[in-house]
Structure 1
Amino acid sequence: MERTQQLKVILSFLTEIGLPYKLSNLGDDTFLPGLQHRQGRLEIDLNKLTYPGDILHEAGHYAVCEPTERHLLDGDIYKTGLQHSRPKQQMMGEEMAATAWSVAAAKYLGFSLDIVFHEAGYRGASESLITAFEHGGGIGHPLLNAYQMSCPDKGFPTMKMWIRTVSWNQ
């Protein structure tokens, strides 16, 4: 599938599930080319975006974030925003859950996993992650179950909801 079609499918999916995003013209000071977290919304510059699958991973952060804190996602979420108010293990758990969410989304949309795990990402571990997820392993999917987002009876990557509604406090 060509890039333009990939982007169309991904953006339609985000709209369908109600995940907040906005197409914008961004500067060069973004954490990933063409992507910026801004006050609880993912801003996307299609002209600067390098890898369409990066949208899925970053959207995953919104989808799995503690619902009462989603509006706080802003800037580089590991250097600003939520990092200062949350335990590091909770942030790392959500990073793993966002990764699993992006895999579930890619599979649901009919993409191969290299759309998410492209050659420039994941510190050279893309192939290992693809292999792990393709063989029933991978990281983060138990958290999707804990957040009541995945279908335990059908198994990962089947999702029953795309945006987390269950808080740890419930």
Structure 2
Amino acid sequence: MKETILAFLDSIGIKYAFSAMEKEGFLPGLELREGVLIIDPEKLKYVGDILHEAGHLACMPLAVRAGMTGVLPNNDMMQGGEMMAMAWSFAACKHLQLEATVVFHKDGYKGEAATLIAAYEAGNGPGIPLLQWLGMCYDQHTAAQNGTQPFPHMKQWLCTTNKYTA
């Protein structure tokens, strides 16, 4: 499963590297360094957490992504990024034909993993409207107009437009 996830990250252009970590990050065995997802295979607890952290990178424009390091700041952009990372990682699971519980495991999301999965399955989980705002996926109506599928189908996997600056 880890190989499948890493091959997916390679295919969409999310950079990652393997490195031992001295101290614990927000998620065991994972941290962001200047837009690169660092993975410590010895400390990684849940392989699905790779997709969640990759979602943080994927949902930010390149200029922001390149500077993402360590614990992300608690601001509006990163709070929205948290919701988008959850929605994005759900879509990635569907795309890779993995169970959503790979990302939304029993020890994550403050005990709300099953609730989040149900919301995403229904097409109304947190972060979906933000992914639509960034042009990364379609809602039901717009997808029908464009002859494609709505979320969890993704129009694009990386944010390419910086809508965060006026």
**1: distance between equivalents of 2:98 and 2:158?**
20
The structural deviation recorded for 1:9 is: 0.3
Report the secondary structure of 2:66's partner residue: helix
Give the structure 1 partner of residue 37 of structure 2: 42
Give the structure 1 partner of residue 119 of structure 2: 132
1:79-103 Cα offsets, whole Å, 9 max, x none, are xxxx5xxxx2222111111111001
For this pair of structures, how many residues does the alignment match?
A: 157
Give the structure 2 partner of residue 3 of structure 1: none
Of the structure 1 ranges 144-153 and 100-109, higher mean CA displacement relative to structure 2 is found in 144-153
Gaps (5+ residues) in structure 2? Answer: 144-148
Report the secondary structure of 1:160's partner residue: coil
Give the structure 2 partner of residue 93 of structure 1: 80
Select 1:123's aligned residue among 110, 117, 141.
110
**2: distance between equivalents of 1:136 and 1:29?**
34
Select 1:52's aligned residue among 29, 39, 47.
47
**1: distance between equivalents of 2:155 and 2:18?**
27
Give the structure 2 partner of residue 70 of structure 1: 65
Quick one: percent identity of the two aligned structures? 43
Structure 1 residue runs of 4+, over 3 Å off? none
Q: Is the 8 A contact 2:72 2:78 kept in 1?
A: no
1:4-24 Cα offsets, whole Å, 9 max, x none, are xx1010000000111011111
Give the structure 1 partner of residue 8 of structure 2: 13
The structural deviation recorded for 1:28 is: 3.3
The structural deviation recorded for 1:27 is: 2.1
Within 5 Å, give how 1:23-42 maps onto structure 2: 23-42=18-37
Gaps (5+ residues) in structure 1? Answer: 1-5
Give the structure 1 partner of residue 100 of structure 2: 113
Q: Is the 8 A contact 2:93 2:99 kept in 1?
A: yes
Of the structure 1 ranges 98-107 and 19-28, higher mean CA displacement relative to structure 2 is found in 19-28
**2: distance between equivalents of 1:23 and 1:15?**
14
**2: distance between equivalents of 1:34 and 1:117?**
17
TM-score (norm 2): 0.89
